[in-house]
Amino acid sequence: MTKDEFTVYEGLGTDAEDHRWAFGTGFTDPLEGIDTSVPDGVDPDALATYCLMLGDDALVYSHRLQQWITRMPELEEETALANIALDLLGQARLLLARAGRAEGAGRGEDQLAFFRDENEFRNVRLAETVDADFAELTGRLLIFSAWRLALFGQLTGSADPVLAAIAAKGVKELSYHREYAAEWVVRLGDGTALSHAKMRAALEAIWPMVDELFRTDAVIAMLPGVAADPATLRGEVDEVLGTVLAAAGLDRPDRAPMAAVAGQTGREGVHTEAFGYLLAELQSVARAHPGATW
């Protein structure tokens, strides 16, 4: 290496002046230039609740994905998984912040994430259960991503400009997640006899929680033009899942939906037993030091 070449390398090991160049350019704030006040005619409480729903889905599911870090079947999958978990965490942060803004009570993303109790979380139950193995990880990811991508696809046209911007950014991310998951479901479904059996069992285990994704919520009716009605997503999602399952050589499971509790499910703050443990883990350090800045 000539002295000149070496100088380039040497500079990189020490404190380089142009930090932005060293770590890539072009972090774009999806909310740049967007008016973040609640649009006229939009019910702020309903908007806050809706954003909590979408934000909690991402926050809680990201948590489950994070639990797979250092447990993935190959190192390359670690980077893929971390990307997905980070993307969803990013979506959660934007949505929780939006919820806090709409609510107007001074609660920010951290106050909402760490200091609400179980029955105040509005995620679907699909987001909160543990993956027993890699087949469940990829099967759940396929369903969640396909559903969320369809949802965000509609939200890009939301009358709330913040939701529309969040959705626009999220669509690119979710397309990637869905593709990643679909490729794995096909590999496992059409791999070895063992992987086929595991993928089939995984879908059987997850399927009871699918129906809940398409339930219309009362809040939706209060946000015309702003929220997307989950019931309208079913066709698109079914088509995607049908294509992937066919390529994977897997049948669509025939399982009854997981029952509600007194007519309520995740969207109403009624969760599974696993959820309490999840929140205990997520919130423990923040709650041990209330009022601390991190």
Partner 1 sequence: MGEPQVRSGWPLYEVFLRGKRGLNHVHVGSLHAADPEMALHHARDLYTRRNEGVSIWVVASTDITASSPDEKDPFFAPSGDKVYRHPTFYEIPDDVPHM
Partner 2 sequence: MRDDVVPTMMAEKQAGGMVAMTAHPDEMTDDLAAHFDDTLGHDRRIEPRDWMPDAYRATMIRQIAQHAHSEIIGMQPEGNWITRAPSLRRKAILIAKVQDEAGHGMYLYSAAETLGADRADLTDKLISGRQKYSSIFNYPTLNYADVGVIGWLVDGAAICNQVPLCRSSYGPYARAMVRICKEESFHQRQGYELLMTMMRGTASQRAMAQDATNRFWWPSLMMFGPPDDQSPNTAQSMAWGIKRHTNDELRQRFVDMTVPQADKLGVTLPDPDLTWNAESGHYDFGAVDWDEFMAVVKGNGPCNAQRVARRQSAHDEGTWVREAASAHAAKRGDT
- Under the rule (CB under 8 A), what is the footprint of partner 1? 5, 8-9, 12, 15, 19-27, 29, 74-76, 79-80, 83, 86, 90, 176, 179-180, 183, 187, 192
Q: What does the per-residue mask of binding to partner 2 show for 84-123, with x meaning CB under 8 A?
A: -xx--xx-xx--x------------xx--xx---------
Q: What does the per-residue mask of binding to partner 2 show for 42-81, with x meaning CB under 8 A?
A: -----------------x---x--xx-xxxxxxxx-xx--
Q: What are phi and psi of 208, to 5 degrees?
A: -60, -20
Residues 185-214 that bind partner 2 (CB under 8 A): 186-188, 190-192, 194-195, 198
Q: Which does 239 bind (CB under 5 to 8 A by kind): partner 2, partner 1, none?
A: none
- Contact 276/118 with Cβ under 8 angstroms? yes
Q: Does residue 247 belong to the site contacting partner 2 (CB under 8 A)?
A: no
Long-range contacts of 42-46 (CB under 8 A, 24+ apart): 42/159, 42/160, 42/223, 42/226, 43/222, 43/223, 44/102, 44/103, 44/104, 45/102, 45/103, 46/219, 46/222, 46/223
Q: Which does 201 bind (CB under 5 to 8 A by kind): partner 1, partner 2, none?
A: none
- The single residue among 201, 222, 260, 282 that binds partner 2, judged by CB under 8 A, is 282
Nearer to partner 1, 29 or 45 (CB): 29
Q: Does residue 246 belong to the site contacting partner 2 (CB under 8 A)?
A: no
- Contact 61/72 with Cβ under 8 angstroms? no
Task: For residue 179, give the H/E element and its range.
Answer: helix 161-189
In the three-class reduction of DSSP (H, G, I as helix; E, B as strand; rest coil), residue 254 is classed as: coil
Q: Which does 163 bind (CB under 5 to 8 A by kind): partner 1, partner 2, none?
A: none
DSSP 93-118: HHHHHHHHHHHTSS--HHHHHHH--G
